[in-house]
Structures are given as structure tokens and as C-alpha cells.
Homo-oligomer: A and B are copies of this chain.
């Protein structure tokens, strides 16, 4: 059976991505990161999401530890930098330097060892926070790197970097996930979710997620820590 590494953060996009990879017939090796992120409930959400899509011999899950808080430089890895609660122009302080490069590099290692044919990442460049490492040009550059960085690449095999959500709106992502049976109530997208996984409702990630449910006319199953604003 063909295999894929799927990056699973515990959020809405990566849950959809996992459902897509399963629907395409891949055995899915789900990879999450304990990277020192502010919202620890993300990782519990990632486990729940994987568990909910578990089909016999079709899903495995690993959690890699990489402590990016020792580097800091982001509101998600440095508790001293606040998460913005209002829309700002430019790349916001929740951007984590080189995060997707590190995640994809680690996924690539596992893909090579497992002889996986694909790596799935749930990046999206429409309803997103403007992070540079979510854009199509970044994905293309990493695809180019894969062929040159690895033994399998040198030997002429290809590991396809799949970003199936990259050109979808959040509403389209929600509709696609619902059609594939994703239970979004299990996911946590909030940048500063409580330890119980309750969302703040006002950060950038909450705003984008809400918009996805509203624009797609789907019920929003998110558990908020207070009345959503």
C-alpha cells in the first residue's frame, strides 16, 4: 500500500489533509511536533484527530520533540510576546521562524526511511495569517530541495509534496472536510487555547476558522472560553 507522511497539528486544516490522504488510499504516517508551542492542547487535539480517523493498519502517529522555545522569536514559542487579538498588516508575531521548513525536513526524513511516496501539509494561502512558509513558492522550493537532499531523490524516486488546501478558501476546506466525515469538534486551531482546548475566539486563527464555518453555513463546533466576539 502506498504511504504518505501527513503533518497533523491538531487544527482544522491538517485534520482535513489527513482525511484527504486517507481518501486517496494512502497508509498515513501522521507526524506532530511538540515544539514548545504556547497551546499544548494542540497535541491532544492531534491525537484525537488521528484516533478518530484510525482505520486498521491505515494510520500511525508519531510526536517529535523539537524545542523551538530555546530559540524563541515568536508569540507561539515565547510567552513574553503576546498573541495579537486584532488584525494587523504584515506578517504577525505568531509567525514561528522556519517552522514549516523544520517540520517538512523532519517529515522528509521519515518519508525516506518508510519509502513513502508523498508528504501532505495543510498549508493554505488564501484565508491565512500571511506566513511566508505557507505560500505556493515555498512549497515549490521545498519540492525542488527534496530531490537533491535525499538518497531516494538521487536514485530517481520522487517524494511528492502535497498541499491540497493551498488554493482553497477556509469555507471550501470546511465543506471538503465535512464531505469526508471530519469531526471538527475534535480540532483546536486557536493560537492560545486553554489547557482544556477552549478557544479564545479573537486571535487570527480563531477569526479565520469562524469565517470558514460562517461562509460555508456549517455549524461551528468550536468550544470557546467565553462568548465568541
Chain A interfacial positions (CB closer than 8 Å to B): 62, 64-68, 70-73, 91, 95-102, 104-106, 108-110, 112-113, 132-133, 135, 137-138, 141-142, 144-145, 148-151, 153-154
Contact = CB atoms under 8 A, between A and B. Distances in A.
B105 A154 contact: no
Contact of A141 (B71, B96, B104, B148): B148
Given A64-B66, A113-B71, A101 B145 contact: yes
A140 to B, nearest CB: 8
Contact of A97 (B67, B99, B150): B150
Nearest to A151: B91
A71 to B, nearest CB: 5
Given A64-B70, A97-B113, A138-B145, A132 B154 contact: yes
Contacts of A67: 64-65
Contacts of A150: 97-98, 132-133
B149 A138 contact: yes
B108 A101 contact: yes
Contact of A99 (B72, B101, B109): B109
Contacts of A153: 132
Contacts of A102: 102, 105-106, 109
A135 B108 contact: no
Contacts of A91: 151, 154
Interface centre among A91, A112, A113 (most CB of B within 10 A): A113
B154 A148 contact: no
Interface centre among A97, A141, A149 (most CB of B within 10 A): A149
B112 A98 contact: yes
Contact of A149 (B110, B132, B148): B132
Interface centre among A91, A95, A100, A110 (most CB of B within 10 A): A110
Nearest to A107: B98
Nearest to A153: B132
A110 B95 CA distance: 14
Contacts of A97: 108-110, 112-113, 150-151
